[in-house]
Structure 1
Amino acid sequence: MSTAIDQPLKADSLLTTGLPWPLLHTIASLAEAPLIQIAERLRTATLPYLKSSALVIFTEDCTGRPQKKAGAEEIISRVSITELDALRTSLGDETFWSGKAELAGEPRPLYALKHPSSGALLVLTDPEPAAGADHDTGLDLVTYLWRLAAQRIQEKVADAPPSYLLESRAASAERVRVTAELTDLHSTTLETLLAALRSSSLDDATARTTVTDLAAKALVGLRTHSDRTTGLVEVPVAIAFERLREDLRPLTRFSGLEIEFIEPPQNGRALPGEVAHAGRAIVRGLVLAMMEQPEISRVRTQWDCDGENLLINVRDDGRGMLDADAPSIGRLDRQVQALAGQLRVEVMPRWGADVFVTLPLDLP
């Protein structure tokens, strides 16, 4: 009898219930997808309901790889962050848009879906209903699958291991370096061109005016692209702290725990994306670890910046029973060390615990 009970439940034995097994398997695949495969799995999941030539995800949660792509190589190899950011900006408060827009260097028919909470963008090129699929139903399913994928990206970044944080920060630093080199090179070229075209030695005034305008626009576009890349890599400290407040709001609503937030200076130095995400994840982890203590009712969290480091302080009003050697604290300490930071725990019997975290803002 025990042998029969221990047999794994097979999908074939439940076909009579009418469960949509292909869709359920798709959902399970998305729910466990690693970041590097999330675009490919999402495209595979959407094709039975909505055909597309390519799928592109643009997310600022994952600063090391803000684009995640699958589909036609001639599209995914040419799409740019500037195009995706312009498309997302055009959506405003809307979460869905369809029409023609510039992508991969030319106007294309697109579906654009924005995740409400994270602001991540999903773009499907050349969309059309799959054979035998109802358009509205297919779009509803694609929207649902996209929300699962966007949530998965947020979870993976929040719980990123130390190795991912190191790799992501290195990728961000390399992107800044390459962009700076290209900016210097092309700025010099264009400024020299402008000086020559404005010279009085050129007789064709009409040609000079036309080319001057084109070169000026190219220079503005280049500098805008450079500014956008910097903005993607860095997050204003006030915005990062506000996202932390949103992260912890459910705890204050349902657990009865009071969390006091001491905001950082509004004019504090912007945080590298990896530092901002790690800071939020570390505070969340500390709050959850502190909640495991008996007789705790209040936690105070404070962020500050000394120009070189993000300074985090989390304090509770428990009875000083936080275990500094607990596995949960060890995991957080490894995250801190991955960013060349420091974590220090001070436990005061009968008074509570005080945790101090220092995260450098520059690569060591």
Structure 2
Amino acid sequence: MTVDTIQLAADQADHHAVTLESILAVLRSRRLDDRAARTMATELAAGALVDLRTASDEFRDSLVEPVVGAFARLRNDLRPLVRHGDLDVQFVEPPATGRALPGEVAHAARAIVRSAVLAFVDQGETNRVRIQWDCDGLNLLIDIRDDGRGELTAHDDSLRPIAERVAALGGELGVSSTAGWGSDLAIRLPLDPPALPESLDSVELSAREREVLRLVASGARNRAIAGQLAISENTVKFHVSNLLRKAGASSRSELVALATH
């Protein structure tokens, strides 16, 4: 299985999660009777299946995407959850004059927001989420805030996929929480790829990171690496995220290329 195939599977899993949350919101809605809820849930599932067959290819094929267009796609992704659930989502539009986003950044940004919303919902007690995008010409700036328990931290397992995706793009993730008031995720995604080092010889790595790197370069997946090193799969993901950040690589394939240079 190639890196691109694995990434596509992860992206589709994110989309599936949002669709399932939307269907559950419809089925639980007190505004719809049983028949109407079943009809709406069926329509959501059918529409999602069609979208999943075409969306990823469209995103990958697009070299650049206007920031307002990318944000509109995000709103469309979350519309069923907003429309039929009890979650109040506020969207703060990015400036229309913002720089167009590389396709990879636009795609990752939407997946990051979807994952963050699901992480907030999974905590419980979240009624409102505020999503804001901005662009300073060099970076896409994402701010996601909820009114939940305010217990999220940067090391929370539910944020691991987000942290890895942000790190893979050379970005930054900040998490601030206030008990009883909610959590805030501040994310910066650079629009231009970072310059890659010629090799990893000059990069300072811990002994454990070098072990993980050796196994990644051999083609081993996270589960296999975890088994060989007797550590958890989440710990492997954490080390891979650090390796990507230190190497300035945007994917495992680039990391392997640097390791075998």
Give the one of 31, 42, 52 matched to 1:151: 52
Tell me the percent identity: 52
Runs of 4+ aligned residues of structure 1 deviating over 3 Å after TM superposition are 147-150, 152-158
Q: Does residue 253 of the first structure (1) align with residue 83 of the second (2)?
A: yes
Q: Name the SS for the 1:260 alignment partner.
A: strand
Give the one of 105, 115, 119 matched to 1:285: 115
Higher relative contact order (CA 8 A, sep 6+): 2
Higher-Rg structure is 1
What residue in structure 1 maps to residue 134 of structure 2?
304
Q: Please state which structure has a larger fraction of its residues in strand.
A: 1
1:262 maps to amino acid: V
Distance 2:49 2:120 in 1: 29
Structure 1 residue 296 displacement after superposition: 1.3
What residue in structure 1 maps to residue 125 of structure 2?
295
2:52 maps to amino acid: Q
Q: Deviations over 1:48-79 (max 9, x none)?
A: xxxxxxxxxxxxx9xxxxxxxxxxxxxxxxxx
Structure 1 residue 321 displacement after superposition: 2.4
Structure 1 residue 155 displacement after superposition: 6.2
1:1-364 matches, within 5 Å, as 151-152=52-53, 154=55, 232-364=62-194
Calculate the TM-score normalised by the size of structure 2.
0.53
Distance 1:354 1:157 in 2: 31
Going from structure 1 to structure 2, the CA distance change for 1:151 and 1:294 (only over 3 Å counts) comes to closer
Structure 1 residue 254 displacement after superposition: 2.5
Q: Which runs of 5+ in 2 are unaligned?
A: 6-10, 12-47, 195-261
Structure 1 residue 327 displacement after superposition: 2.2
Distance 1:316 1:152 in 2: 31
Calculate the TM-score normalised by the size of structure 1.
0.39
Instruction: Determine if contact 2:175/2:186 at 8 Å carries over to the other structure.
Output: yes
Instruction: Determine if contact 1:157/1:277 at 8 Å carries over to the other structure.
Output: no
What residue in structure 2 maps to residue 227 of structure 1?
none
Distance 1:354 1:333 in 2: 14
Q: Please state which structure has a larger fraction of its residues in helix.
A: 2
Going from structure 1 to structure 2, the CA distance change for 1:306 and 1:255 (only over 3 Å counts) comes to same
Distance 1:245 1:257 in 2: 14
Instruction: Determine if contact 2:173/2:188 at 8 Å carries over to the other structure.
Output: yes
Distance 1:157 1:352 in 2: 35
CA-atom RMSD in angstroms: 3.1
1:151 maps to amino acid: L
Structure 1 residue 308 displacement after superposition: 0.1
Instruction: Determine if contact 2:154/2:175 at 8 Å carries over to the other structure.
Output: yes
Q: How many pairs are equivalent? A: 154
1:325 maps to amino acid: H
Going from structure 1 to structure 2, the CA distance change for 1:324 and 1:35 (only over 3 Å counts) comes to closer
Going from structure 1 to structure 2, the CA distance change for 1:257 and 1:237 (only over 3 Å counts) comes to same
Distance 1:338 1:157 in 2: 21
What residue in structure 2 maps to residue 20 of structure 1?
none
Instruction: Determine if contact 1:35/1:153 at 8 Å carries over to the other structure.
Output: no
Going from structure 1 to structure 2, the CA distance change for 1:153 and 1:352 (only over 3 Å counts) comes to same
Q: Deviations over 1:189-246 (max 9, x none)?
A: xxxxxxxxxxxxxxxxxxxxxxxxxxxxxxxxxxxxxxxxxxx311000000000000
Distance 1:318 1:280 in 2: 21
Distance 1:252 1:304 in 2: 22
